[in-house]
Structure 1
């Protein structure tokens, strides 16, 4: 009985593994070594691959393919000079071997010489009977150069040769997305689906394009076709759930997220979205249950902790809210929105020092909204730190140079510190920019507002 190729490959691999254990040297033909080395490289077993290359070359010293595997290992280990020298030797022996050109391009790519790599790959195209992989490599080199149109065109050529090359399809859509060509992507996907109507990947990508255009009903249809093509396609159920949320069809969204939980292990994303849907349906008990399930599934998912934080914040349970915002900040301490929420919660609890710390951190991270500067200044004033408030407002004035709210606050602070000349300067600025905001002086500096000095200045 004749063995099929997979069984032959397995038999060769088992013989090789047995040989390594016993130290008995067995003979393998060069094709067997090719398959053994491919297996090890595909599984990331580099040491085993190197052993197989060494033994293979001892038995077949003139094998170009085995030498090419040596080049591949050199490139993997970033030993580019050795790789280059060996590939040049092999080129002299077989100048028409397309694999030599591919490896040469690989070396050039590693050296960031992507244009030269493309030139070499185009030469390989002229020698090959199956151009699919080479078009894919050229496409990747164009991606390295940020030449997305060229990249896209080459990946399209991959699909012309192999309609089921879904890796190329993903790369094509990536290029469309980067170029913000959503309409063009939709046209391309529709043409592709005429050739391959049950391709769940294409339907899924089509739905995402419609999502980007906010064409939610069309997106929903596309995801439904993806599910018809493959009823176990978890990604399509998740996307369908997201569309149904956009359409405010929360019960149906929950149904789709629940299907993903049945098809595979629970994902924190699906659990979080179910919680959000229940919150929209005003079912707070189930909402918070799913938020807790989210963080049980993935304790490092800051979005889960934030969902719990916001839930308790809406319930005005600020102590619990504060506990959970700290959980989120322990995971992502660089998130501006989290620091602002931290500050707001502390402010509601009248923990002014912590609130000020939160606003300060938000500003340091790049939150330059006027409200952040103003709220921090008002808290510093309450904390009895007028100099800190002044410094904060002067920074704010660099971003908002003609703002009456800033100027009246500065006026009040300077008058409070008995720096009347500076106070008068900022008071005049505030009156010039927008006199209606003079009420700030009455609200924040009532004693100053009642003083004769300020009344005289306002009339001046």
Structure 2
């Protein structure tokens, strides 16, 4: 690849400087060469070399404003804000119209969390700068720090009016629109932007994301298509396009797009999982299972992979195989509530009620507070004749679901079973108040209780 003259000069300057450090001979560089050398080392994270270069630079060019501004930048980086500010005041006395002085002062105020003052200084910098885009970008960032998303958005838009190719500003504009819940306005803005810059794959990708967000999947795919036409290695656009195809139940197209992401980069567990899901939707069970197995091979810690295999076998009613895989998952992570719930459900299907009860108990212990989990657990405790444990579990559940008729009817039934009629009537009254028609829970789950004349009379009385 042919290097430009500027790049060749820059590389020569670096080689010359590094040669000087090795030989201890002092060579001359002009101030701009030194600035580029110092900034190069800063970009590379080599602060010690940057400081060494700065010291040599100031020895050779003690009056260079550019070098002193680089010195300020390094002082700010080291949080030596007072020293930096003092140096800037000295420079301001010499060059009061140098925009970089105001930008660095703004940087100091920003570091002190005085963002309004920073914006004020950056607005002054606008009066003297030729690089409006950079200053508008900095103003936008200050407004982001202040959580003023509307003003940040306007600043980034102004930045893009000055420099259409500023990708960070483009991302930030879309971020502001999304944060302000202005997805349709963002789409309208991007349409105008694309009119001016039709080959911006970033803009097309962002537009696709926004269409996806408002569930307009056809237009999302169209936008992602343009992004991938402009850049046929745009992995993110292929991934998002695949998701949109999936939403439209176009599983073959989704598989093709997910497969492209695997061609472009190492296979991700997410792409493998989604390909498996698509194959299952298409009825390709063997292929679905193949990709689910590849998913857990790629990332054994991804719970969605193990869950996909387990659920696959549950849907086939092959509970023995489902149990085998959920046990493998639990061997890797025995504190995963999703695994424990499936372990419990599978054992329930196999009429292994003690194991099922243990699974639901573990699921709740590890944070599953879904209503159905509590109810499945309680119903198994009741089936096992553990009425007191069932009551205690329901009382625990009622802390999460204080106004849930299914909890109240079960408590009523269980209290009737242990002959505590006062508490039973209290909970039956709650259940009837919350959902009268659901009293059939008593008939279905507590036939002994349902036949009691006292219960029938209580329900009849409440109906009147």
Q: TM tier, shorter chain?
A: 0.7 to 0.9
1:440 is displaced (CA, Å) by 3.5
How far is the alpha carbon of 1:154 from its aligned partner? 1.0
Is the Cα contact below 8 Å between 1:269 and 1:294 reproduced in 2?
Answer: yes
Name the structure 2 match of 1:147. Answer: 148
What is the DSSP-based 3-state SS (H/G/I as helix, E as strand, rest coil) of the residue aligned with 1:126? helix
- The equivalent position to 2:364 in structure 1, one of 339, 356, 359, is 359
**TM-score w.r.t. length of structure 2:** 0.86
Task: Compute the displacement of 1:403 (Å).
Answer: 3.7
**Match of 2:236?**
235
Displacement of 1:121 after TM fit? 0.9
Do structure 1's residue 320 and structure 2's residue 324 form an aligned pair? yes
Partner of 2:120: 119
Partner of 2:9: 8
Gaps of 5+ in 2: none
* Cα distance in structure 1, aligned partners of 2:301 and 2:70: 41
TM-score scaled by length of structure 1: 0.87
Taking the aligned partners of 2:324 and 2:223, their CA distance within structure 1 comes to: 42
Indicate if the aligned counterparts of 2:251 and 2:279 stay in contact, CA closer than 8 A.
yes
CA distance in 1 between partners of 2:19 and 2:181 (Å): 55
1:147-189 CA deviation, whole Å, 9 max, x = no partner? 2221111111111111111221111111111222222222211
Q: Residues 185 and 402 from structure 1, CA distance in 2 versus in 1: closer, same or farther, beyond 3 angstroms? A: closer
Contact kept? 1:339, 1:362, Cα under 8 Å: no
Deviations 1:80-118 (A, max 9, x none): 344344434433443322122212222222222222211
Q: Are 1:210 and 1:219, in contact at CA under 8 Å, matched by a contact in 2?
A: yes
Q: Which is further off, 287-296 or 85-94?
A: 85-94
Distance 2:188 2:274 in 1: 31
Q: What count of residue pairs does the alignment treat as equivalent?
A: 452
| 8 Å contact from structure 1 (residues 325, 342) kept in 2 | no
Distance apart, 1:272 and its partner CA: 2.5
> Deviation per CA, 1:8-33, whole angstroms, max 9, x where unpaired?
11111122223333433333222111
Q: For structure 1, which segment, 265-274 or 179-188, has the greater mean C-alpha deviation from structure 2 after superposition?
A: 265-274
Structure 1 stretch 293-302 or stretch 231-240: which is displaced more? 293-302
CA separation of 1:406 and 1:58: change in aligned 2, threshold 3 A = same
What is the SS of the residue equivalent to 1:160?
helix
8 Å Cα contact 1:308-1:324 kept in structure 2: no
Unpaired segments ≥5 residues, structure 1: none
Which secondary structure does the structure 2 equivalent of 1:104 belong to? helix
Give the equivalent residue in structure 2 for 1:63.
Answer: 64
The structural deviation recorded for 1:456 is 7.8
1:152-301 to 2 correspondence within 5 Å? 152-301=153-302
Displacement of 1:230 = 2.3
Contact 2:326 2:339 in 1 (8 A): no
What is the deviation of 1:36?
0.9
Between 249-258 and 66-75, the greater mean CA deviation after superposition: 66-75
**Partners in 2 of 1:279 and 1:357 — Cα distance?**
30
Rounded to whole Å, the distance in 2 between the matches of 1:318 and 1:267 is: 24
Higher mean displacement: 298-307 or 48-57: 298-307
